[in-house]
Structure 1
């Protein structure tokens, strides 16, 4: 499954190394070097945060408070080179779901991320109803009258992102960054093409064009 992960680590070299390891698992990684960069994306939650405590501007404690306030069900892994015992305790009190002291092997982080995603995915499996469609968020299966609709991975990611922001107008740039990642280079017209394909496969979906801006799925 193409989980979206936000990595907040101010050390450029470590950030690059961890991003490389995580992307090899097929996950979509958005990395940040400062707390303010990460803070700007809190309203567009990923499937998991990896959060360094020591940052050059906003510390990880403040960020996790805001993250858990806005998205309490999104798991967070704290990483830190400071006093391990204190950071572990404070992190747990603030809602972190795992803690990894530096230095650590990148492969250990990958294993912890996978285990945490698997656990949260099992715990939070739901059948989402958006009449006349039913969406199983665990298996990523969309159906209509018990007949499965064959969506590609990108089509499902788009649908899931729209449903997570039901009734909210999303710009092409927001959709592009969340589905393809911030490192994508190319025209934002790929968003329009993906929308067109999703509409063709799910014609009863109330997917509205917000002219000059983007798209939104309306509540029935």
Structure 2
């Protein structure tokens, strides 16, 4: 699953350069020249892993935009771009809750390094062992264990299982799963998702407390007794 970057940069030339370079580094970039377009997304699923905000933007400056984002998305990782490189900018950004800043024009390689370092610090590590009802999942070995037998998961099966666990007890939209794990949404990937869901149901048959329920036309609702 690619890291999704929210890029707020009103300079069309610099924004395009950043977007293209980050995509070459295998990031997925949503570039916004108008920060007001980002505000309208704050009450949605907001599928981003990190934000890169230019400080000097029209209508809404980077600091104000950061405050709006963090009010709705607590602890969302942010990196500021500043052209002035002044001490007051750096202090203000850190006070608001930014994880880092970099002066423009920036070295793209340094920017990528800073992004990866922020993600390492802020993204929780996947536990090596997860207890799911009567089952135990070893995420390093991709091994789902049960007293009546073990199953070696594929990478995709484990990715889907971890995504469902992350959204345990909530309604999970099909489109969100496809966009986050398959990074595409068409008939064939939809059918592939159904196959993987059927496999997971089969793997968990030995514990009736575990439920993966289909919601017609919407997605799924899961109940995993995790300890």
Residues 52 and 79 of structure 2 are in contact (CA less than 8 Å); yes or no, is this contact kept in structure 1?
yes
Q: Separation in 1 of the partners of 2:159 and 2:46?
A: 14
Q: 1:135 to 1:65 in 2, by over 3 A?
A: farther
How far does residue 211 in structure 1 lie from its aligned partner after superposition? 1.2
Give secondary structure in 1 for the equivalent of 2:90: helix
User: What is aligned with 1:49?
Assistant: 51
- TM-score, normalization by structure 1: 0.74
Q: Separation in 1 of the partners of 2:22 and 2:190?
A: 25
Q: Separation in 1 of the partners of 2:8 and 2:115?
A: 14
User: What is aligned with 2:155?
Assistant: 152
- TM-score, normalization by structure 2: 0.72
Residues 6 and 51 of structure 2 are in contact (CA less than 8 Å); yes or no, is this contact kept in structure 1?
yes
Unaligned runs of 5+ in 2: 205-209
1:74 aligns to 2:81 (yes or no)? no
1:95-114 to 2 correspondences below 5 Å: 95-114=97-116
Q: 1:202 to 1:219 in 2, by over 3 A?
A: closer
Out of 206, 215, 222, the residue aligned to residue 217 of structure 1 is 222
Residues 207 and 215 of structure 1 are in contact (CA less than 8 Å); yes or no, is this contact kept in structure 2?
yes
Rg larger in structure: 2
Q: Number of paired residues? A: 211
1:11 aligns to 2:16 (yes or no)? no
1:1-220 to 2 correspondences below 5 Å: 2-39=2-39, 40-41=41-42, 43-82=45-84, 84-121=86-123, 124-127=124-127, 129-131=131-133, 132-134=135-137, 136=139, 142-145=142-145, 149-152=152-155, 155-179=157-181, 187=186, 190-201=189-200, 203=202, 204=204, 206-220=211-225
In angstroms, what is the RMSD of aligned CA positions? 3.3
Q: 1:214 to 1:116 in 2, by over 3 A?
A: same
Q: 1:29 to 1:85 in 2, by over 3 A?
A: same
Unaligned runs of 5+ in 1: none
Residues 142 and 155 of structure 2 are in contact (CA less than 8 Å); yes or no, is this contact kept in structure 1?
no
Q: 1:219 to 1:150 in 2, by over 3 A?
A: closer
Q: Separation in 2 of the partners of 1:214 and 1:193?
A: 14
Deviations 1:98-150 (A, max 9, x none): 001211122221121122223335xx3242554335375xx6x6542286743
